[in-house]
Every structure is written in C-alpha cells, then in structure tokens.
Amino acid sequence: MGKGLEGIIAASTGISRIDGINGRLFYRGLDIDDLAKNSTFEETTALLWYGRLPNAHQLESFTKKFIDNRQIPYEVLSLMMAMPKKTPPMEVLRTAVSALSPYDPEDLDNSLEANVHKSLRLTASMPTVMAAWERIRNNQWPILPRNDLSHAANFLYMMTGKEPDPTAAKILDTCLVLHADHGLNASTFAARVTASTLSDLHSAIVSAIGTLKGPLHGGANEQVMRLLLEIGTPDRADQIVRGMLNAKKKIMGFGHRVYKADDPRAAWLQRLSLELSETVGPTKWYEISEKIRHMVQESKALPVNVDFYSASVYYALGIPIDMFTPIFAISRVAGWSAHVYEQYSDNRIIRPESEYIGPNDVPYVPLAQRG
C-alpha cells in the first residue's frame, strides 16, 4: 500500500504535467516558464479550460465575460457581513462559494456548457469575495469591481481602494499564472472525487478549498511568512532554523511528493521576491528566505516549493498574511474547474478501498453490563 497514495496513478489528465526529476511544469504542453513570462491569468485560464491558447478575438471575448461576472449578489455579501470578524478568509471563501451556488442561473444544470459558465462566474467573482471580506472585517464598505482593470489589478484595487501600481499588478498576475494548475495535487484530487459522484461544480470547488486550506498544502505559504516574522532579522535565522531542524520540525515551503528537483515556480517567485525586496523593500525578508533555504538544503535534500518565496512576494505587495492561501485558491480555481470538466467527460466514481486493521468479532455487551 502506498501511504498517502504515493506513486499511485489515480486519473489520466491532459491538463498539466509535472516533470519532478528535472523540475519542470507544463500546462496543456506549454512550459510554465513561457507562460509566466508571456501570458496573463485570463489567457492561462482559457488555455486550461479550452485546451489551447485563445486567438485575439477569443481572448477579448473571454476577458470581457470575466469582467462582466465580477460582482457578487448582495445576499452573499450580507451573509459575509453576518460572520464573526475573526473568521479566517479561507473559511469565508469556502462558505461564500457554497452560498453563491443557488444564485447561479445554471445551478441545477450539470452540462459541460453550464459548468464552463459556472466556473467563469466563480473564477471572476472569488477575488471580489476576498477583497470584500478584507474590507468588511476592517469595518469598511466593500468596493465595486472596476471593469477597466485586469483580474489581478482589480483584486488589489478592491482590497485597498487604490489603483495598484502596474508593476505590483503584473507581479500578482504572474503569481496567479504560476498557481493555476498542478497535476493531481490534494485539492484537485478532492475536487475530482466530489465530481466523480456526479455532484455539482460548486460542491467540487468547496471540497477543493477545504483541502487547500491545510498547512501541508496551500496553507504552507502563510506558515512561511509567520516563520520569517518570527526570525525577524537575518542574524537570527541560523539559530532558529538550526533548532527546528534538530527538533525534526518541518519547515514549510520545502519538500514535495513529486518534485525531486526545485519547483520551477519557486525560481520565478524567488526572482519576484528579489525584485520586490530591491524596489519596495525591506530587503530582510528575501535575505532571511535565502538563509533558510541554504540551511535547509544543506542539511536535507529537500526541493524548495511554490509556497516558499510566494510568502515574501505577497507580504511585499502589502497583502495580509491570512489572504495568502486565498490568493492560491483564486488562481487554482482555474485548474480545479478544468479537472472537474475532465472528470465528468470520462467519469467513473472514485472509490478506493481501505485495509481494515481494527478488531474482529467483538461481542455486543448490553449497556447495563458495561463497566
């Protein structure tokens, strides 16, 4: 038995391919390096959903549909307003995606066409949900989306109320491209398991959000930032990280089930983190990150993963720490949706078996006779 399903092939997919030995990643056959350099989140989403890059006309119409579907129903906003202000954003997102389902005009239609529409509405509106929550919890009114800004820029605008610097918006857009899909990771698997019962797209995305939230998956980026803050200054890194390694504690942002070489997305995020540290500052988060990486990789042969440098990138962009994992979700919903369509297209319920290791032939003792 492969504990944690290690080494088990549980689905066939044409969406993304990870070459874990050489540290490479492809979406629909296109190298992630080319996409990070040249594409946008909107274009990458179209690539994941339709299987190839859109032409200019297709991209224009796809982008317009994205823009037209950014708003969320007032009823969902009211529900969020009723939630305790301390609710972590990932819980709000999980709840809001579920709540959006009955307001979707094609809620009860599970055709491919309806599912593409539903995921378009969800992908377009999840940034609105998160930006609104950031404002609601700080006793501010949510801001309406703007239709002249990109997906990434509009998210930063709705969260802060200020039009973002174009470089910051471009950096966030690149992060969204880098996170959009990644083989049969835990949250994507969760989405596919839910879809395989012929449940609906919203339910599959809710399952995925709940799975992404854990610190061994998407939640790792928040933990990386908390460690950087605990360390505080580069000179303290050595002692703290050495102590963690000696105590056999996991250091978030390292290790991966599939990658044996460094994650190619981490190389991009490292460059973005360096760029931000030199332009926006302070440089210390990047410097501490470099120290941690050096120490971890000197003591253990662990690849650096996508969550390590994304922490210092988002922090430099002024994004609150507990919004880091929601940003992952705002991007990965593109991949989750593509996997749900793929699952429905050739479905068989995903139902593995377990090896029973409990007791056998246990007699039923009447309540009065139990000690």
Ligand X SMILES: CC(C)(COP(=O)(O)OP(=O)(O)OC[C@H]1O[C@@H](n2cnc3c(N)ncnc32)[C@H](O)[C@@H]1OP(=O)(O)O)[C@@H](O)C(=O)NCCC(=O)NCCS
Indicate which residues carry an active-site annotation: 256, 307
Residue 306 is a binding residue for ligand X (CB under 6 A): yes
SS3 of residue 150 by DSSP:
coil
Residue 310 in the binding site for ligand X (CB under 6 A)? no
Backbone dihedral angles phi then psi of residue 5, each to the nearest 5 degrees: 60, 25
- Would you count residue 305 as binding ligand X (CB under 6 A)? yes
Distance of CA 344 to the CA centre of its chain: 22
Strand partners, 184: 182
CA angle 83, 86, 91 (to 5 degrees): 65
Is 17 among the residues that bind ligand X (CB under 6 A)?
no
Q: Is 73 an interacting residue with respect to ligand X (CB under 6 A)?
A: no
Report the alpha-carbon angle 44-266-125, nearest 5. 40
Which CB sits closer to ligand X, 142 or 253? 253
Per-residue DSSP letter, 105: T
Does residue 108 touch ligand X according to CB under 6 A?
no
- Give the Cα separation of 82 and 292 in Å (integer): 41
* Residue window 188-227: x/- pattern of binding to ligand X, with contact defined by CB under 6 A: ----------------------------xx--x-------
In the block, tokens 């399903």 appear at 5
Cβ closest to ligand X, residue 152 vs residue 266: 266
Residues 6 or more apart whose CB falls under 8 angstroms from that of 186 comprise: 211, 212, 214, 216, 217
Binding ligand X by CB under 6 A: which of 24, 257, 271, 284?
257
Q: For ligand X, which is the closer residue by CB, 266 or 340?
A: 266
Shortest separation between residue 66's beta carbon and ligand X, angstroms:
27
Nearer to ligand X, 4 or 243 (CB): 4
Q: Quick one: which segment of 56-64, 249-257, 264-272, 351-359 binds ligand X (CB under 6 A)?
A: 249-257
In this structure, are residues 51 and 35 in contact, taking their beta carbons and an 8 Å threshold? Answer: no
Stretch near ligand X under the rule CB under 6 A, chosen from 128-136, 191-199, 246-254, 361-369: 246-254
261 binds ligand X (CB under 6 A): no
Distance set, CA 245 to CA 133, 220, 248, 292 (Å): 37, 17, 5, 11
> Considering the complex, what minimum distance in angstroms separates the CB of residue 344 from ligand X?
26
Under rule CB under 6 A, residue 172 binds ligand X: no
DSSP code per residue over 264-331: HHHHHHHHHHHHHHHHT--SHHHHHHHHHHHHHHHHS---B-HHHHHHHHHHHTT--GGGHHHHHHHH
Instruction: Mark the segment that binds ligand X (CB under 6 A) among 31-39, 119-127, 228-236, 255-263.
Output: 255-263
Interaction between residue 307 and ligand X (CB under 6 A): yes
Q: Is residue 90 at the binding interface for ligand X, with CB under 6 A as the rule? A: no
Nearer to ligand X, 54 or 253 (CB): 253
Give the footprint of ligand X on this chain (CB under 6 A): 4, 216-217, 220, 250-257, 300, 302, 305-307
